[in-house]
Amino acid sequence: MEYFKACKGIPIYISDTKKGEKTVVLLHGYLETNEVWADFAKLLKPHFRVISIDLPGNGLSGTKQDENSMEFMADVVAEVLNHSKVERATVTGHSMGGYAALAFAEKYGELTEKLCLFHSTPNPDSEEKKQNRDRETALIEEGKLDLILKVNIANMFADENLDRMEEAIAMISENASISEPEGIIACLKGMKNRRDMNAFLSGFDKPLLFIFGRKDKYISETVAAELIEKFPNAKTLILENSGHAGFLEEPEISSQKLIEFTDNG
């Protein structure tokens, strides 16, 4: 079921399978919409209720005028769950969605049963990354979003997967182009200004799952290894043949791990 609901003063586009004793929430990444989860959600649907949304500033959802902070996104997710009468959920976030999931787990621990960071980290932006966010903001203001889409979306995938992911790349690009430029800029600001969440995650006392791609161009093997060492109690899946989009590149392995994690921790 797809519908709109006003949350925190803006319209939010929601997809909800409605049925299932346990609930998995899927939060998409930068330049994506909830449509990116469509096939992956089908793999989870026989096991759980699956809820995904267009995060503020993306797709068909509205946006704050200036900055879509991770905390604001968390507030929106909380309103969606309360409206949906979900008491607790496994919150799964891809990339930017993982940053929002961390903010959600911190603010709404009572709604968080488990947390999955899917190609995402608790680390803040480096100075170099902040400068890249500013450059992308400038390009969007100049009406050159297409240049960002051409580079960033292809870089989500391992090089050897580009040919077979051609349809997915086209889908993500098409959906990103319907987002309002102001919304994408507000998300860039939210990511640039987000806090370091390592200290919070160190004290997080609920089940945690990291999913990394061996060939991820955004999260290096070194960074992934450092996080695995830093959080020894976390469950971990390394996708050997994926870049930054394992739910599209290796959906069966990824979904099975998430199903096992949600069922058993």
Strand order of the β-sheet with 208-213 is 2-7, 10-16, 49-53, 23-27, 89-94, 112-118, 208-213, 235-239
Residue 64 — very low, low, confident or very high, per pLDDT cuts 50/70/90? confident
Distance separating alpha carbons of residues 228 and 212, to the nearest angstrom: 10
- 86-100 pLDDT per residue, tens: 999 999 999 999 999
Percent of the chain clearing pLDDT 70 (strictly above): 100
Residue, of 191 and 65, whose pLDDT is higher: 191
Residue 265 — very low, low, confident or very high, per pLDDT cuts 50/70/90? low
Whole-prediction pTM value? 0.98
> Domain count of the chain?
1
Dihedral sign for Cα 70, 74, 77, 83, please.
Answer: negative
Residue range 164-193: average pLDDT? 97
Local structure of residue 238 (DSSP, 8 states):
E
Amino acid identity for residue 254 in this structure: S
The domain that holds 94 is classified in CATH as 3.40.50.1820
260 pLDDT higher than 80: yes
**Phi-psi sector, 203: left (phi>0), alpha (psi -120 to 50), beta:** alpha
Query: Which residues partner with 116 through β-bridges?
Result: 92, 209
Distance separating alpha carbons of residues 151 and 157, to the nearest angstrom: 11
Residue range 32-44: average pLDDT? 98
Range of the domain at 105: 2-264
DSSP string of 3-60, one letter each residue? EEEEETTEEEEEEE----SSEEEEE--TT--GGGGHHHHHHHTTTSEEEEE--TTSTT
Q: Mean pLDDT over all residues of the chain? A: 97
Residue range 239-261: average pLDDT? 98
Q: Is 114 helix (H, G, I), strand (E, B) or coil?
A: strand
